[in-house]
Amino acid sequence: MNDLVEPLDIDTDPSAHLALHSLLDEQTADAALSEREREVRSRTREVVARHVVPGAAHADETGEFVHESVQALAAAGLCGLVFPRELGGTADTSVAYALAIEEIAAGCAATSLVFMTQTHAAYPLLIAGSDEVRHRYIPGLLDGSRYGSLCITEPNAGSDVSSLHTTATPVEGGYALNGAKTFITTGDRADVIVCFASTDRTAGRAGVSAFVVDGSWGGVTHGTPFRKMGMHGSSTSEVFFDGVEVPAGHRLGAEGEGWSVVMNSVVKSRISAAAQGVGLARAAYARTLAALKRLHGPRLPDEDLFELAELRSRILQGRLLLHAVSRQVDAGQASTGHIGIMKKSCTDLGWDASVMATRLLGPYGDLTALGVERCLRDARVTQIYDGTNEIQRLLIGRETTRAMAGLT
Ligand SMILES: Cc1cc2nc3c(=O)[nH]c(=O)nc-3n(C[C@H](O)[C@H](O)[C@H](O)COP(=O)(O)OP(=O)(O)OC[C@H]3O[C@@H](n4cnc5c(N)ncnc54)[C@H](O)[C@@H]3O)c2cc1C
């Protein structure tokens, strides 16, 4: 019996996961991390090894929602990294947040998607919600007792937020919300829904407003999860709003400020997607090393070294870029172009590394038991959501054009 078709030790033995992933830490990247950031990483890695990895293959196979994994991360106090203490967070840096997502994605990308969506739902409340709204909804998202969703995409509007069809019509005391959202992460079960709708369809972007809606309110219908290429343990569905009565106090920011809420929030969500890309690349690399060792013993064949060197180099580059831009985000100095370069490069890295890993392993790369094909399937969508990589290229190019206009 060829034992390469059996699951790897890193999937069955938490200490093997911890040992291999610690070996892949790179001093050059770690040198710029604070002690606290390293502590967040090692705590996340520990929880991932013990409570996330053991259920990852099962969630991928069955599509079962990764509830237990997310609860374990919440119980360890990791769901509120970029939120203030008075709301249940830990006031950590965006770098710490990126490190946590990288760790989770390296163990189970679907869990990382649900985990980051909690932040994506809570963050607009933090930056644009009233005190009452923040205190009512954010703590439950951070302690894992409530699931959140961020509802932007519609059947005909995703990249182009200005063409939203969902409307928020002023009524006495608030708004009536009507429309349909699609491709919403955790949309089938969201208790806390941040929804973007048009308050003035003639005004394009300037007519978009943001609202927080309780998932249990009348008129909210949660769709059935779609079947997908990857991220099977996360759910993606439609969410329908049919005359949902939203109190005026549940608007986030002023009327027409929805676009700026989106733009300020995508800063964090693009860090999330980029960190998933780096984590998936590391997962593919770690799985390849573990499989090659099983196949050849400790001395890896020369013909594999070139590709392994390329993988390691690109992962280190991705990490350095992810950490540097996240640091700039915290300093308030990251440009849209730099955020785009990070998002595009790191998510392309997740895909490219998974492709390289499957090539290196030949037929073994195709085996479900080794988990490399899962990395490939999971990586694809990171290039699509949080602003597709084509849109990132557009933003990077526009920034360059603006800079060129300043040249004499
Ligand atoms: C698993 C999953 C989870 C998701 N989770 C969420 C979520 O939680 N909340 C949410 O709101 N959305 C979510 N989405 C939706 C996702 O963010 C959008 O699908 C994505 O932003 C693309 O927008 P779109 O669907 O309108 O596609 P389009 O904008 O129609 O894009 C279609 C294609 O055209 C390209 N394109 C579009 N405009 C241009 C342009 N100007 N120049 C060059 N190329 C262009 C795109 O890059 C893409 O390749 C999710 C999607 C998936 C698959």
Residue with tokens 């892949």: 24
pLDDT 10s digits, 121-149: 999 999 999 999 999 999 999 999 999 99
**Cβ atoms of 243 and 178 closer than 8 Å:** yes
Q: What is the mean pLDDT of residues 314-331?
A: 97
> Degrees (nearest 5) of the Cα angle 182, 252, 384?
35
148: which 2 tokens? 């959140």
Interval between CA 262 and ligand 1 midpoint (Å): 14
Q: Which of 66, 162, 347, 384 to mutate to test the pocket of ligand 1 (most atoms within 8 A of CB)?
A: 384
Q: Please report, for the chain, how many H helices and E strands are present, in that order.
A: 14, 8
* Distance from the alpha carbon of residue 164 to the mean position of ligand 1, in angstroms: 13
Ligand 1 pocket (Cβ < 6 Å) reads: 117, 149-153, 157-159, 183-185, 228, 231, 236, 381, 384-385, 388, 390-391, 394
Nearest protein CA to atom 17 of ligand 1, as residue: 385
323, 29 Cβ separation under 8 angstroms = yes
- In the chain, the amino acid numbered 156 is N
Mutate to test the pocket of ligand 1, among 117, 118, 120, 159 (most ligand atoms within 8 A of CB): 159
Residue nearest atom 51 in ligand 1 by C-alpha distance:
183
314 CA from centroid of ligand 1 (Å)? 26
* CA–CA separation, 15 and 391 (whole Å): 41
pLDDT tens-digit profile of 146-200? 999 999 999 988 778 778 999 999 999 999 999 999 999 999 999 999 999 999 9
User: What is the radius of gyration, based on Cα positions, of the chain?
Assistant: 21
Confidence category of residue 202, pLDDT binned at 50, 70, 90: confident
The span from the CA of 399 to the CA of 341, in Å, is: 11
Q: What is the pLDDT of residues 387-405, one digit of tens each?
A: 999 999 999 999 999 999 9
Q: Each residue of 290-314: b (16+ CB within 10 Å) or e? A: bbbebbeeeeeeeebeeebeebbeb
**Closest C-alpha to 146, from 210, 213, 86:** 213
Minimal CA–CA distance to 186: which of 254, 260, 110? Answer: 110
Looking at domain 262-405, what is its CATH homologous superfamily? Butyryl-CoA Dehydrogenase, subunit A, domain 3 (1.20.140.10)
Q: What are the backbone dihedrals phi and psi of residue 119, each rounded to the nearest 5 degrees, phi first?
A: -70, -40
Look up the CATH number of domain 148-258: 2.40.110.10
pTM of the full predicted structure?
A: 0.97
Least confident of 2-11, 293-302, 342-351: 2-11
What pLDDT was estimated at residue 1?
46
pLDDT at 120: 97
CA distance 188 to 245: 20
pLDDT above 80 (res 2): no
8 Å CB contact between 11 and 371: yes
- Rounded to the nearest angstrom, the distance between the alpha carbon of 384 and the centre of ligand 1 is 6
Using an 8 Å Cβ cutoff, are 230 and 380 in contact? yes
- Name the residue of 183, 237, 266, 389 whose CB sits within 8 Å of the most ligand 1 atoms, as the mutation to test its pocket: 183
* Residue closest by Cα to atom 40 of ligand 1: 391
DSSP strand E in 172-294: where?
174-185, 192-198, 208-214, 220-222, 236-247, 251-252
Q: Please report the DSSP string for 292-337 in residue order.
A: HHHHH-SS--HHHHHHHHHHHHHHHHHHHHHHHHHHHHHTT---HH
Distance 162 CA to ligand 1 centre (A): 14
Mutate which of 385, 386, 398 for ligand 1 pocket (most atoms within 8 A of beta carbon): 385
Residue nearest to atom 26 of ligand 1 (CA): 158
Q: Which residue's alpha carbon is nearest to atom 48 within ligand 1?
A: 388
pLDDT value of position 246: 98
How far is ligand 1, taken at its centre, from the CA of residue 237, in Å? 14
How many angstroms is it from 155 CA to the middle of ligand 1?
A: 10
Cα gap 12→298, rounded to integer Å: 20
Cα–Cα distances (Å) from 146 to 74, 85, 139, 372, in that order, read 11, 18, 9, 32
Retrieve residue 153's tokens.
Answer: 């995409």
For the record, the structure tokens of 268 come out as 């964090």
* Tokens 């996340």 found at: 44
Are 98 and 322 in contact by the 8 Å Cβ rule? The answer is: yes
Distance 304 CA to ligand 1 centre (A): 36
Q: Any idea where the domains of the chain sit in the sequence? A: 7-142, 148-258, 262-405
Q: Which parts of 152-252 fold into alpha helices (H)?
A: none
What's at 57, amino acid-wise? A
HSE-up of residue 381 (Cα within 13 Å, Cβ side): 19
Q: Which of 259, 301, 304 is nearest to 285 (CA)?
A: 304
Q: Place 298 in a pLDDT band, splitting at 50, 70 and 90.
A: confident
Residue 369 pLDDT greater than 60, yes or no: yes
Looking at residues 332-351, what average pLDDT do you find? 97
Which CATH superfamily, name and number, covers 7-142? Answer: Acyl-CoA dehydrogenase/oxidase, N-terminal domain (1.10.540.10)
Separation of alpha carbons 108 and 280, rounded Å: 9
What is the percent of the chain where pLDDT is above 70?
100
Classified as helix, coil or strand, 150 is strand
Residue 74 Cα distances to 89, 101, 143, 206, 330, angstroms: 11, 13, 5, 36, 23
Sorted by sequence, the CB contacts under 8 Å of residue 337 that are 6+ apart come out as 395, 396, 398, 399, 400
